[in-house]
A and B are shown apart, each in its own frame.
Chain A
Amino acid sequence: MKLTTKLLSATAICAATGVSAADLEVMHWWTSGGEAAAVTKFAEAWSATGNTWIDGAIAGGGDTARPIMVSRIIGGDPPAAFQFNHGRQAEELIEAGLLLDLTDVAEAEGWADIVTPPALLDACTVDGRIYCAPVNIHSWQWMWLSNDAYANAGLDVPTTWTEFAESAPALKEAGITPLAMGGQSWQQNGSFGVMALALAGEEAWLEVNRDKNAETVMGPDYARVFEAFGAAREFSDGLNVQDWNQATAAVINDTAGAQIMGDWAQGEFAMAGEVAGEDYSCLPGLGEVAILDTGGDAFYFPKQDDPEIEAAQKELAALLLSPEVQVSFNSAKGSLPIRGDVDLTSVNECTQKGLDLLANGNIVPNGETFLAPDTITQLNDLMTEFWNTPAMTPAEVQEQYSDIIASAE
């Protein structure tokens, strides 16, 4: 079987020093049902190679887990591997020389050829060396709509943001909140990012996020986004929820028309027994610009003194990207695999849309690849203030947004 040979060769290259089994502690924040099932796929594959996976799961997302991981590194007793989001979060650890250089694994495994989109590998690369193993792709760039909510209001399900905005008043009249939005700042800023890419277009979006061009923020393309975001604020009136999945629940229950949220929201629809196309619809890029951003998760490997552990770390890195593991992991997690040469077992209509966009290269890197976490925090604060202050006009928020972009590194 081709897979096994490939897997074996990977093992042979990396574990050249010896055959002894290693215990690797892996820290991550995947603790919900689907996530835990996905991690189990990793652990099983790792155990199958005769090694031991010591699971260090810390729920609560990166903000909870990150200080613990950093403490372990500073304390000189780091885990063998840990999960971070793609992007600039681990930059400093790399610069400080605390993370293992995986370039030889990447070359032996040909990551440069198999990882699609290549931007994922770029996010792991500093000064030409590769420091992380990307494992999946998540995209923010989606809007989820309740077919029944529109049917109940006697409306057609919109296929673009423009149509959505036009139908919103009628929906509201029917007693349905057009747009579900959770109360946490990352949701509001994330939705704005989706609208910016969809309404201002790829070029303007890249100028702002990649090139930190504050003038583009003040330009007409972005002005339209801020106006639309102001309208969205009114569409969401009347639904008070905190968590993103409570907002998704409102779409599932047909009390809200739509939600802008990443592809992880599909897990909620699946859990509630809803079927893509029948019960809910999805619009990548809000139906305006069919384009996905490609964020996701990656594993990093802190440097250790023990050469045996180091060999095992490299072996694990290779294993995470192997085709078999990619399929089983991503099927369980509901994310997309980072290599184009594998097929997910069964995909629904929405996932297929995503895969097609990926295959056609209609993609941009994730915003977190460009913006430092500090800048994102500032934008989160600004957008949530705007969202909750009816007196604040789109022009005001536009001004402040451009200030933050201008001072971003």
Chain B
Amino acid sequence: MTMTDSRPDAGRSAVTRRPMRLFRNLSSKLALMPLIFTAVVIFLGGTIWTIVYSFTSSGLLPRLNWDGLSQYERLWSSRKWIVSIENLAIYGFFSLIGTLVVGFTLAALLDRKIRGEAVFRSIFLYPFALSFIVTGLVWQWILNPELGLQNVVREWGWTSFNFDPLNNPEIVMFGLLIAGLWQGTGLIMCIMLAGLRGIDEDIWKAARVDGIGTVKTYIRIIIPMMRPVFVTSLVLIGAGIVKLYDLVVAQTSGGPGISSEVPAKYVMTAMFGGQNLGQGFAASTMMLVMVFIILIPWAYLEFGGRKNG
């Protein structure tokens, strides 16, 4: 039948026919040349370059003076690195959940035909536009016991109120989280809102006819429909977590002590402070390995499952 025949195999379905494979779907291949170049030359090339140089004793300049595994031995014997990874796990877990929940909830609230949507949306999004060098300082003030919230609440009369997250090694990562959520949720809210705008009104009508409650409709129907949006958000949040650096530098510089160190900061300090590029590359290679471990199963689920679809 013409319809099925004219529908390109090259389109949604996988390539099955042998002849002329190279020229099949040529426009798409040409259009993706910038992507292929970026992926292979810049990201793959850069990654290989980084891994190669992680086996050297490069200091200020990248140089191929082989040093075996010693950068990795030193990395894993460093307490700061271990603390960094633990911190990233804690921050990552709460940031991922927090950002998704807050981002989606705000988007859902904004999507309920409220007045002043534009104002609310801009307030939630504006932190995303501001350089963290200074907003980090403002959060440092707000969380500072003498200057900020603790002081205000005590002046209100609750004199035993204690809120000092940035100076307490036990909870410092949560102090960072407060500012991290503040900065990052606005964008996720926007993406979620774009997704919600794409949901058909008929679905709401149908749900109401069936007597399904609002919250239940979101959880049972809307969220599953927004799977691609959630995937995008997850990658965005995940990338932000792995690259977490500015926030820490601006608020705690990794302190008190080394209690809020994170891997990206370890990399930066080693490369540019310690002038030990090899050590920085070894640490970033380990970061990439961790990303791989998380990303590969996801990529398999995302692409592997529909080879024939």
Contacts and interface: CB of A to CB of B under 8 A. Distances in A.
A207 B64 CA distance: 32
Contacts of B113: none
Contacts of B186: none
Contacts of A74: 61-62
A373 B169 contact: no
Is the contact region of chain A dominated by helix, strand, or loop, or is it mixed? helix
Interface in A370-395: 372-374, 376-378, 381, 384-389
Contacts, number: 84
B276 A374 contact: yes
Given A240-B145, A240-B167, A381-B80, A388 B61 contact: no
B140 interface: yes
B275 A374 contact: yes
Given A92-B60, A384-B257, A373 B79 contact: no
A389 B145 CA distance: 20
Interface residues of B, number: 32
Interface residues of A, number: 30
Contacts of B275: 66, 89, 92, 372-374
B279 to A, nearest CB: 7
Contact of A388 (B79, B255, B268): B255
B167 A184 contact: no
A281 interface: no
A381 B60 contact: no
Contacts of B255: 183-185, 242, 384, 388
Contact of B272 (A63, A96, A381, A388): A63
Interface string A54-91: 00000000011011001000100000000000000111
Contact of A240 (B144, B169, B274, B279): B144
Residue with the highest number of chain A CB atoms closer than 10 Å, among B59, B60, B80, B253: B60
A183 B258 contact: no
B257 A373 contact: no
A376 B274 contact: yes
A63 B273 contact: yes
A388 B80 CA distance: 14
A388 B256 contact: yes
Interface in B138-173: 140, 144-146, 167, 169
A36 interface: no
A93 interface: yes
B107 interface: no
Interface in A162-201: 183-185
A386 B169 CA distance: 13
A292 B166 CA distance: 35
A67 B258 contact: no
B254 interface: yes
Given A183-B252, A242-B253, A384-B257, A373 B61 contact: no
A72 to B, nearest CB: 13
A67 B60 CA distance: 9
Nearest to A384: B257
B177 interface: no
Given A184-B253, A384-B257, A388-B257, A70 B61 contact: yes
B270 A70 contact: no
B247 to A, nearest CB: 14
Contacts of A378: 274
Interface in B60-93: 60-63, 78-80
Contacts of A183: 252-253, 255-256
- Residue among B63, B272, B275, B276 facing the most chain A CB atoms (10 A cut-off): B275
Given A242-B253, A381-B80, A384-B255, A96 B273 contact: no
B219 to A, nearest CB: 43
Contacts of B146: 240
Contacts of B276: 373-374, 377
A373 B59 CA distance: 9
A377 B270 contact: yes
B217 interface: no
Contacts of B274: 373-374, 376-378
Contacts of B254: 185, 384
Contacts of A64: 272
A373 B273 contact: yes
Given A91-B60, A242-B255, A373-B276, 6 more contacts: A185-B253, A185-B255, A242-B140, A372-B59, A374-B274, A389-B257
Question: What 10 A-B pairs have minimum CB-CB distances, sorted nearest first?
Answer: A388-B257, A377-B274, A388-B256, A374-B274, A373-B275, A374-B276, A92-B60, A183-B255, A385-B257, A240-B167
Interface of A: 63-64, 66-67, 70, 74, 89-93, 96, 183-185, 240, 242, 372-374, 376-378, 381, 384-389
12 contacts: A63-B273, A91-B60, A92-B63, A93-B60, A183-B253, A240-B167, A372-B59, A374-B275, A381-B258, A384-B257, A387-B257, A389-B169
